[in-house]
Amino acid sequence: MVNIGSPRNGWTVGADGGVDLRRAPAEPRVVTVAARPQTVTLDLTRCALVVVDMQNDFCHPDGWLASIGVDIAPARAPIEPLRRAVPWLRAAGTPVVWLNWGNRPDRANLPPGVLHVYDPQGRGAGIGAPAGPRGTPTLQQGSWSAAIVDELAPAPEDILVDKYRMSGFFDTPLDSVLRNLAVTTLLFAGVNSDQCVLSTLSDAACLGYDVVLLEDCAATTSPAYCHEAALYNIAQCFGFVTDSKLLIGG
């Protein structure tokens, strides 16, 4: 017998050359958690945790955001809840996907509208430009700036996906990766809750995934009302909002 594909989505080829298209069922890991607008029951083996933009340029004192005068304390708030939740979810059989800005050095796939967000005065700053005390290129693939903060170092089995827009689904392999993981429900965390997290979550809902935001694992450096509006719209229009402590029981 030869396995073709991933353990979560693979075929078996027998010695006689016959192909078995059945996927081996995973033993369900069921939890029920209080959420808004309704209590939800999840099979953690059919979930994936998508952690958005917990990277140095947004969450480290030497990163780009801090270098332009933004208070990054809110962006660091999800670190401790994630340090508790991520190992628990891994142990439950839930894949962990780290979704970060990681742009091409030549920025060839970025239109003016995206570049303008990070360089509104057109001064040659923003994406790809050196920033902060370390002078590393802002949000550039492979740089310290784009790396996940040390406190949340990924495990070898985790999956890293680079993104180039507010939504992690546009121009990336994220949807293919998630479908190959055979997941139907996405747990969301990261920053900013009202920007990249919300954009990716809403696209996920439009693509047919069930979506759940872990509120204590998500934050924004925007004004507080932006975060509250994101929570309202997620629970009202797209899916559910809960807390990681309710999920993991502590």
Assign domain 25-248 to its CATH superfamily.
Isochorismatase-like (3.40.50.850)
Phi-psi domain of 249 (left: phi exceeds 0; alpha: psi -120 through 50; beta: other): left
Express each pLDDT in 178-222 by its tens digit. 999 999 999 999 999 999 999 999 999 999 999 999 999 999 999
Catalytic residue among 53, 57, 203, 216: 53
* SS3 at position 125: coil
Residue given tokens 């607008």 in the structure block: 37
Q: Which of 59, 196, 203, 216 is flagged as catalytic?
A: 196
Longest CA–CA span in the chain (Å) reads 66
Q: Mean pLDDT score of the chain, rounded to an integer?
A: 96
Q: Is 163 a catalytic residue?
A: yes
Q: Is the pLDDT of residue 230 over 80?
A: yes
In whole angstroms, give the CA distance from residue 46 to residue 29. Answer: 9
DSSP state of 40: E
Cα dihedral sign for 180, 186, 191, 194?
positive
Highest mean pLDDT among 1-5, 7-11, 46-50 belongs to 46-50
Query: pLDDT of 82-139, one tens digit each?
Result: 999 999 999 999 999 999 999 999 999 999 999 999 999 999 999 999 999 999 999 9
Mean pLDDT score, 150-178 = 97
Question: What pLDDT, on the 0 to 100 scale, is given for residue 5?
Answer: 80
Q: Would you call 59 a catalytic residue per the annotation?
A: no
